[in-house]
C-alpha cells in the first residue's frame, strides 16, 4: 500500500486481518473512513465505509461486544457488501454533506461525511470507471437532505424508486478529478469572465449603532442613515461563510426576491452592496423584534391576536403563491413585528418557484413544521405552506407545536399518523379548532386551501369578522407595542445585543474569490 492509499485508509482496514480475510482475490483497499449512515426512519448510525477496487462495504465500528464475536466470525462486522458494478449512480447535496449510493437491484444507502465526502466520491467514481470503463452517473441537488432521493428497504419492497433527475455530463477522462463540491469543474470556473467588483464604503452613508442578532451566516446590525436619520438594519454575511456552509444558492434566491417582492407583509430590500469580504443587505428596521421572542415571553397569545397575525400571513403567502413561489420556512423566528403590531415575513432564502403545477421533493424547513408529504417524499406543492400555517396557529395559541416530541423519529411518525389534539386547559372557539384541523389534514387534497388557495382560507368562518382590505391597508385595529423611543430594544434578546464584530476574523481569499465568481449583480438601491 503506497503513501496516498494509507492517507485514504483512515480506519486502517489494510492492517486488520479480519477485514483482509473477507476480501476477494485481487481485491485491494482504496479508502476507509468513519461516517454517518441514515436508516429508513432517518436515524443516524455510525458506520465505517470501505471502498475497494471491486466492492463497497458497510461495516459496524468496533466495540467490545463486536470484537469478541469478530474473533469467532470474521465477517460479523460487515453489515452489507455491494459490488461496484451494481451501483447505478450517486446523488450529492450541494447544500449539505450528504450523498446517496443508488443500488436499484436492492436499495440505496444515504450517508453524511462532514470532512471527507469529496474523497469518498472521487474514489468511488474512479473505481467505477476503471472497473466498468464508463462514467459513474452523478446527480446533484440543492436540497440539504437527500431523503426524497433515497430508496429505502421499505420502498424497495413496495416497488418504489426515488431516484429522479438527470445526471450531469462529465467527460470520462476528467471524472476522477471532478470537483464534487460544485456543479462546475475547476477549469471552467477559472475561465469565467470576472466582473469588476467594487467594495462599498458604507461608513459615509450609515452609522453603525448596535449588533442585535446573531445568525448562522452573520449578524444583523442596527444602523442609522447619516443624512435622513432613519433607522435600518444591515443583514451582514461573510462571503467565506456563505461558501463553506453551501448557502450560496439560498443567498442568491433571497437577493432576487427581496427586490422583486412588493407586499406590505413581506420584507423589502432597501439597498444591497458588498465589501471585499462581506455581502450586506440593508433592510427596514422592525422594532418589535421577532414573533418567537414575544411567544417565549408570553407563553401563548390570545385567539384574537393570533387571528390578526394569521390574516396577514394569508395575504403574504397568497401573494407568493400567485407568483408561483412557495415560502417553505414559516415559523415564529421568521416573522417580525413593527411598533404597531403588524407583521412581515423575512428570510426568503428557502423560497422555491414551482411553475406549471410542478412538484418539489426538497426536505427543508423547521422539523416541527414539516408536512407529511415532505417526510414521505412523494412530492409537494403550495399546500406545504398552509400546513405550516396550521402548525403556527396552534403554536401561537398553545405555546407548543401540535406534534412536538424530543425524539425526531417519533415526531415524524406523529406528523404522519396522529390527528391534532386540542388541550382542554385552554379555551378557544370551535371555528378556530376547525380552521387548524382543516389546515392539518394529512392528505393535501383534503387540506383547506387545496381548491382555491388563499381565498378559501379567507372565507373560513373563523375569519368572518376580518376585513382583509383594511388589514392590507393597515387601517384596522392593531396591538401597539408602546415603543415611543426609536431605540427601545426591549423586544430583542439581551445576549444578542452584546455581540461583537466579525471583522477581525481571518478571511480565506480562495473562498472569497469563489463567491465573487458565482454571485454576480449584487448592488441594488431602492
SS3 380: strand
Q: What are phi and psi of 369, to 5 degrees?
A: -105, 0
Q: What are phi and psi of 182, to 5 degrees?
A: -150, 160
For 325-354, give one letter per residue: b (16+ CB within 10 A) or e. bbbbbbbbebbbbbbebbbbbbbbbbbbeb
Domain boundaries, the chain: 3-191, 202-286+486-525, 291-473
Q: State the pLDDT at residue 196.
A: 58
- Orientation angle between helical segments 430-439 and 303-322, nearest 10 degrees: 30
For residue range 49-100, what is the model confidence (pLDDT) as tens digits? 999 999 999 888 765 334 444 444 444 477 889 999 999 999 988 766 789 9
Q: What are phi and psi of 293, to 5 degrees?
A: -65, -40
Q: State the pLDDT at residue 65.
A: 38
Protein fold of 291-473: Transferase(Phosphotransferase); domain 1 (1.10.510)
For residue range 134-153, what is the model confidence (pLDDT) as tens digits? 888 888 887 767 888 888 88
Protein fold of 3-191: PH-domain like (2.30.29)
pLDDT classification of 499: cutoffs 50, 70, 90: low
Whether 385 contacts 328, CB under 8 Å: yes
For residue range 456-496, what is the model confidence (pLDDT) as tens digits? 999 999 999 999 999 999 988 788 888 889 899 999 987 77
Catalytic residues: 329
Residues contacting 299, CB < 8 A, separation 6+: 399
Measured CA to CA, the distance from residue 318 to residue 264 in angstroms comes to: 12
Q: State the pLDDT at residue 77.
A: 72
pLDDT of residue 504 exceeding 50: no
Higher pLDDT, 191 or 397: 397
Protein fold of 202-286+486-525: Phosphorylase Kinase; domain 1 (3.30.200)
Q: State the pLDDT at residue 66.
A: 42
**H or E element: which one contains 78?**
strand 78-83
Mean pLDDT of 189-202: 62
Measured CA to CA, the distance from residue 365 to residue 275 in angstroms comes to: 30
Closest CA to 42 of 156, 152, 163: 152
**Poorest-pLDDT segment among 78-92, 297-311, 378-392:** 78-92
**Count of alpha carbons within 13 Å of 421, Cβ hemisphere only?**
9
For residue range 432-443, what is the model confidence (pLDDT) as tens digits? 999 999 999 999
Q: State the pLDDT at residue 14.
A: 84
pLDDT of residue 281 exceeding 90: yes
Between the alpha carbon of residue 434 and those of residues 296, 317, 440, the distances in Å are 25, 20, 10
DSSP label at residue 481: -
Closest CA to 343 of 410, 401, 292, 414: 292
Q: pTM of the entire structure?
A: 0.67
pLDDT of residue 312 exceeding 80: yes
Amino acid at each position: 500500500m503506497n503513501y496516498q492509499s494509507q492517507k485514504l485508509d483512515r480506519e486502517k482496514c489494510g492492517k486488520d486481518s479480519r477485514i483482509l480475510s473477507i476480501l476477494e482475490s485481487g481485491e485491494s483497499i482504496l479508502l476507509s473512513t468513519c461516517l454517518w449512515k441514515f436508516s429508513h426512519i432517518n436515524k443516524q448510525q455510525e458506520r465505517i465505509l470501505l471502498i475497494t477496487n471491486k466492492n463497497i462495504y458497510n461495516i459496524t465500528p468496533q466495540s467490545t461486544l463486536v470484537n469478541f464475536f469478530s474473533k469467532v466470525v470474521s465477517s460479523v462486522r460487515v453489515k452489507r457488501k455491494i459490488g461496484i458494478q451494481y451501483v447505478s449512480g450517486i446523488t450529492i447535496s450541494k447544500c449539505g454533506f450528504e450523498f446517496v449510493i443508488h443500488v436499484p437491484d436492492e436499495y440505496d444507502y444515504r450517508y453524511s461525511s462532514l470532512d471527507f465526502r469529496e474523497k469518498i466520491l472521487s474514489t468511488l467514481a474512479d473505481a467505477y470507471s476503471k472497473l466498468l470503463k464508463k462514467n459513474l452517473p452523478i446527480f446533484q441537488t440543492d436540497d440539504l437532505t437527500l431523503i426524497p432521493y433515497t430508496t429505502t428497504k421499505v420502498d424497495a419492497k413496495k416497488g418504489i424508486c426515488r431516484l429522479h433527475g438527470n445526471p450531469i455530463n462529465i467527460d470520462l477522462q476528467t471524472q476522477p478529478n471532478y470537483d464534487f463540491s460544485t456543479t462546475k469543474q475547476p477549469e471552467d470556473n477559472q475561465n469565467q469572465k470576472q466582473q469588476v467588483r467594487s467594495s462599498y464604503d458604507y461608513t459615509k452613508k450609515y452609522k453603525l449603532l448596535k449588533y442585535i442578532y446573531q445568525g448562522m451566516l452573520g449578524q444583523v446590525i442596527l444602523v442609522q442613515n447619516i443624512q435622513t436619520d432613519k433607522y435600518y438594519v444591515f443583514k451582514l454575511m461573510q462571503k467565506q461563510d456563505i461558501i463553506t456552509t453551501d448557502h450560496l444558492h439560498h443567498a442568491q434566491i433571497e437577493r432576487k426576491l427581496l427586490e422583486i417582492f412588493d407586499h406590505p407583509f413581506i420584507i423589502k430590500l432597501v439597498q444591497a452592496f458588498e465589501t471585499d469580504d462581506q455581502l450586506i443587505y440593508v433592510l427596514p428596521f422592525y422594532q418589535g423584534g421577532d414573533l418567537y421572542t414575544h411567544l417565549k415571553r408570553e407563553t401563548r397569545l390570545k385567539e384574537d391576536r393570533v387571528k390578526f397575525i394569521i390574516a396577514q400571513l394569508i395575504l403574504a403567502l397568497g401573494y407568493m403563491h400567485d407568483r408561483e413561489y412557495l415560502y417553505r420556512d414559516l415559523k415564529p423566528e421568521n416573522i417580525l413585528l413593527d411598533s404597531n403590531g403588524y407583521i412581515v415575513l423575512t428570510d426568503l432564502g428557502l423560497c422555491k418557484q414551482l411553475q406549471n403545477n410542478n412538484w418539489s421533493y426538497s426536505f427543508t424547513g423547521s422539523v416541527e413544521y414539516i408536512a407529511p408529504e415532505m417526510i414521505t417524499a412523494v412530492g409537494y406543492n403550495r399546500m406545504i405552506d398552509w400546513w405550516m400555517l396550521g402548525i403556527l396557529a396552534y403554536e401561537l395559541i398553545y405555546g407548543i407545536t401540535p406534534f412536538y416530541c424530543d425524539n425526531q423519529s417519533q415526531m415524524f411518525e406523529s406528523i404522519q399518523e396522529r390527528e391534532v389534539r386540542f388541550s382542554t386547559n385552554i379555551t378557544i372557539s370551535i371555528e378556530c379548532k376547525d380552521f387548524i384541523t382543516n389546515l392539518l389534514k394529512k392528505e393535501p387534497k383534503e387540506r383547506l386551501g387545496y381548491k382555491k388557495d388563499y381565498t378559501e382560507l379567507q372565507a373560513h368562518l373563523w375569519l368572518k369578522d376580518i376585513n382583509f382590505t383594511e388589514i392590507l391597508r393597515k387601517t384596522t385595529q392593531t396591538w401597539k407595542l408602546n415603543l415611543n423611543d426609536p431605540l427601545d430594544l426591549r423586544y430583542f434578546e439581551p445576549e444578542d445585543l452584546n455581540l461583537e464584530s466579525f471583522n477581525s476574523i481571518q478571511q480565506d481569499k480562495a473562498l472569497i474569490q469563489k463567491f465573487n465568481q458565482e454571485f454576480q449583480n449584487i448592488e441594488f438601491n431602492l
